[in-house]
Structure 1
Amino acid sequence: MNDYSVAPEFGEQAVVARIGSWLKRKAPYLIVLVLAIFGVAYTSLAQQPLYGYWEFLGVAIGVACVAIGWRQASDRGARFALARTQALHWAAFLVAMNIVLWPSVNSFLNAPATGLALLLLLALGTFVAGIHVSFDIAVLGLAMALAVPAIAWFKQSALFLILGVIVLGAFAAALWRRGDASA
């Protein structure tokens, strides 16, 4: 009989600890992604955009970019150049987002399209800022951009998805009862 133990770095507790550590490090990015998707969902359900919400997200991501880049900058001049560049970058995207919200422009878009357009602008701004600041920020922008077609597809396919879940649930219940009956 072999008497061995699993090394601590390969045990279940170690895996859970690694996942927990990863989630703790990536929590700010995941929170921003969830908040962005929430903004689109609210805009779609309420049939009106959250005007201050998108500006808040843009400013929050801009501040995060400066904070992340600040630690990586080599000297004071590089830090202030980073802050100036990010301020101009995010100001441009906030102006673009507000143009989408102008009544004369927004009248061409329905509420779900407005939310998706704002998310796409925020995703583009985040991705471009991430190229200059941090790989994680760029990945966040990419995830936000991929959420746009995913949300559009989900909205169009929601009824089919619900019916599919019901059919699969009924099929699973029938198999489970059949297994209980034969036992």
Structure 2
Amino acid sequence: MSELTAKRPAVKQALHALFLVFRIGSERYALQATEVAEVLPRLPLKPIAHAPHWVAGVFACRGAVVPVIDLCALTFGIPAQARTSTRLVLVHYRADERAAPKLLGLILEQATDTLRCNPADFQPYGLDNRQAPYLGPVREDAQGLLQWVRVADLLDDQVRALLFPSPPLDLALLEERS
């Protein structure tokens, strides 16, 4: 086998990316695995008063408080079903490319499969959906359409300010006021 032939599979593999596949109702969606920090079972959450209905709450993770959104409720207004396959997926959220990533929790139904494919296989679906900018291009396969969810576009400015205040709240100042 020539050296060029031996290298060809490595080049082909580099064109593919790993995606975490999940469902919202009967529809399939995917997150790029590089955006996923950890997949956990569904955990109890502390609700946030006066937050949008799709903000499920917060939980403590290794000394940090992590906000969690219910992607089913965000997308279609119906909370995720409590199934054994419903997961709490921690993702690396960045408001923009220059910002340091922050952990954001997503409640996802049937988040149990992965798919390796070429990201270029996802194509625009011809609709400017400004109400859901996080819903990216689609890919067709034997099971139907699979839609790419872009983590960076999940939160609008108002919700980002609620979940990730800038500057962060200073607990020492809050204690002084007491």
TM-score (norm 1): 0.25
- Decide which structure has greater helix share: 1
Between Structure 1 and Structure 2, which shows a larger proportion of strand residues? 2
What is the TM-score with the length of structure 2 in the denominator? 0.26
Q: Which has the larger radius of gyration?
A: 1
